[in-house]
Structure 1
Amino acid sequence: MIRFWGQPKFSREPLEPIGYELFLREYNVDSWEVPSNFGKFSAAEIADLLVRTAPQLPAKMTYISLNLDIDQFVDPVFLQAFFAIKQQLTNTKLSIELTERAGQLNVSDNQLVTAAQRFKTAGFHVILDDVSSGDNQLQRVELLNPFVHEYKFAIQNFRPFASLEEIIPNLVFWRNCAQRNQKLFTIEGVESKQDLLLLSHYHADMFQGFALGRPIYLPTQDDPHNVIVQSNNLY
């Protein structure tokens, strides 16, 4: 059995929850776990879960984003599955986050551009997750810019550090890139009120992090009343 867990995304002004980033989790024996192999879940399974989850979301949580690994992102079957259910996601604006995971397939620049263009043409917002980390460096960002709606800068990818001030120059670089290219800019990994106070000066559009909200279980329409939602290390 699979379900989504959602971490709230907060607008900066006013600071309030406006949506969720969705994380796929699998029930194993007696707890929910991060799947060891995301590739075993088909596009149809994930799309069906979206349809059953979306009507249960709070009315104000209209912006949801779904992570796709790079090999899923370039697979047209995933676009087709999400486009087929788009009209059923009433009051929900679905974005696709291009993420990275160890052991993924090698994908060409042409495949990435084609996939991003197709998602945009189909009416989906594309989010580049973890800019400045892994392969989502400036070269890839510039390559996909015409089709991307949002950059996400993940503070947790740079921990541990002695002080948050250490990464501010890097954060400012990407904030400026977002402003120059007219993209939304999200800072994730906000873990304390002190983080939030400092980061609020850098004009992000949205924030995510444990200080604002940890991932929570998102029920479906057909969940049994005794569903178990406890687990360790779900993020």
Structure 2
Amino acid sequence: MLRFWGQPKFSREPLEPIGYELFLREYNTGNWEIPTDFSKFTATQITDLLTRTTPEFPQKMKHISINLDIDQFVDPVFLQAFFAIKQQLSGIQLSIELTERTGQLNISPSQLVTAAKRFNDAGFYIILDDVSSGDNQLARVKLLNDFVHEYKFAIQNFRPFESLEDIVPNLTFWRDLAQKNQKLFTIEGVESKQDLLILSHYQADMFQGYALGRPIYLPTQDDPDSVISESTTCY
């Protein structure tokens, strides 16, 4: 069985939940697990699950993002599948997060640009996930800049560190680049009230992290109990 789990995305001002980042989870031997191979799921499986899950969302959770690895991102089948259900996601803004993970295929820069342009032209927001990590380095940001709407900076990728001050130069660089390029900027990995107090000075548009809300099970319309817990922590 396949379901989405969702981590709340919080706006900065006011600090309140506005949507979810969706994560696929697979039910095996009594436990929900992170799949070891995301490539085994077809575009149809993912979009079908999406259409059965979003109607159960609380009214205020309208900003939804879903992760695609680079192999999926450049595959026209995924774009076609998402576009086919776009009108069914009433009132939902669906963003595509291009992950930092290295794909199994040798993807050329021109293939990546073509895919980004197609998603953008089809009306999807594109987010570069975990900038400064994995493959989402400055070169990719520059390559896709015309089609990207948001940068996400993941603090958790730089832990452990003595204090947040250790990553301030990197954080400041990406915040400034987002402002220069007129992109939204999200900081994820907020794990404490102290983190939030410090990070609030960096003018992010959105926050994510365990201090604000952990990923929760998102039922579908056909689940026996289709009530989503709205319990989140808000400082």
Letter in 2 for 1:111: Q
Structural mapping, 1:12-161, within 5 Å: 12-101=12-101, 104-161=104-161
Percent identity, aligned pairs only, is 79
Aligned length: 227
Q: Offset of 1:225 from its aligned partner?
A: 3.6
Q: Offset of 1:135 from its aligned partner?
A: 1.4
Instruction: Give the ranges of 4+ consecutive aligned residues of structure 1 lying more than 4 Å apart after TM superposition.
Output: none
Counterpart CA distance in 2 for 1:214 and 1:225 is 20
Counterpart CA distance in 2 for 1:60 and 1:113 is 33
Counterpart CA distance in 2 for 1:42 and 1:49 is 11
Q: Offset of 1:86 from its aligned partner?
A: 0.2
1:231 alignment counterpart: none
Counterpart CA distance in 2 for 1:28 and 1:100 is 27
2:193 alignment counterpart: 193
Q: Offset of 1:163 from its aligned partner?
A: 0.8
Report the aligned-residue RMSD: 1.3
Q: Offset of 1:102 from its aligned partner?
A: 5.5
**TM-score (norm: length of structure 1):** 0.94
Q: Answer yes or no: is the 8 Å Cα contact 2:131–2:137 preserved in 1.
A: yes
- How big is each residue's C-alpha offset from its partner over 1:110-151, in whole Å with a ceiling of 9 and x where there is no partner? 111000000000000000001111111111101100000000
- How big is each residue's C-alpha offset from its partner over 1:146-170, in whole Å with a ceiling of 9 and x where there is no partner? 0000000000000010111110111
- How big is each residue's C-alpha offset from its partner over 1:174-223, in whole Å with a ceiling of 9 and x where there is no partner? 00000000000000000000000000000000000000000000010001
1:233 alignment counterpart: none
Counterpart CA distance in 2 for 1:14 and 1:103 is 37
1:178 alignment counterpart: 178
Q: Offset of 1:91 from its aligned partner?
A: 1.4
Counterpart CA distance in 1 for 2:26 and 2:206 is 28
Counterpart CA distance in 1 for 2:68 and 2:104 is 11
Q: Answer yes or no: is the 8 Å Cα contact 2:6–2:217 preserved in 1.
A: yes
**TM-score (norm: length of structure 2):** 0.94
Listed as ranges, the gaps of 5+ residues in structure 1 are: 227-235
Confirm or deny that 1:211 pairs with 2:211: yes
- How big is each residue's C-alpha offset from its partner over 1:13-68, in whole Å with a ceiling of 9 and x where there is no partner? 00000000000000112011001111111000100000000100000000000000
Listed as ranges, the gaps of 5+ residues in structure 2 are: 227-235
More displaced 10-residue stretch of structure 1: 163-172 or 94-103:
94-103
Partner secondary structure for residue 96 of structure 2 = strand
Partner secondary structure for residue 146 of structure 1 = coil
Partner secondary structure for residue 217 of structure 2 = strand
